[in-house]
Amino acid sequence: QVQVVESGGGLVQPGGSLRLDCAASGSILSIYNMAWYRQAPGNEREWVAGLTRTNSTNYLDSVKGRFTISRDNAQNTVYLQMNGLKPEDTAVYYCVAYTPTAQYWGQGTQVTVSS
């Protein structure tokens, strides 16, 4: 069992930056991958970024060069640093922890990019 708690969302201006935090607890040694997804009302949920246990990363093409996913092992926390934010980045962002038997989703945190 893994618990995922997200924080860090908010309202930012276009071109601004925001860092999302994802704190994992429970059976964290079973996690083999972490990822961020996002979804706006009426839109499809889309994968944004992924981080493997060996710290390999990959990104949605539209966020490459702007977003960075990373891990703070000491605090069991995964981050999504978002720079150069655009209005189309507005969505509820979800952190997901993957284990061999299940995936665990956080509650989501709202990111709004607007002037």
Residue 85 · residue 18 · CB < 8 Å: yes
Give residue 74's pLDDT: 67
Q: Cα angle vertex 96, ends 91, 102, to 5°?
A: 140
Type of residue numbered 6: E
Could you tell me which residues are beta bridge partners of residue 5?
23
* pLDDT per residue of the chain (115 residues) written in tens, 0 to 9: 999 999 999 999 999 999 999 999 999 889 999 999 999 989 999 999 999 988 999 999 999 999 999 998 766 899 999 999 999 999 999 999 999 999 999 999 999 999 9
Dihedral, 55, 61, 78, 97 alpha carbons, nearest 10: -90
State residue 33 phi and psi, 5-degree precision.
Answer: -155, 150
How far is it, in rounded angstroms, from Cα 34 to Cα 107?
15
Picking from 27, 22, 11, the residue whose alpha carbon sits closest to that of residue 108 is 22
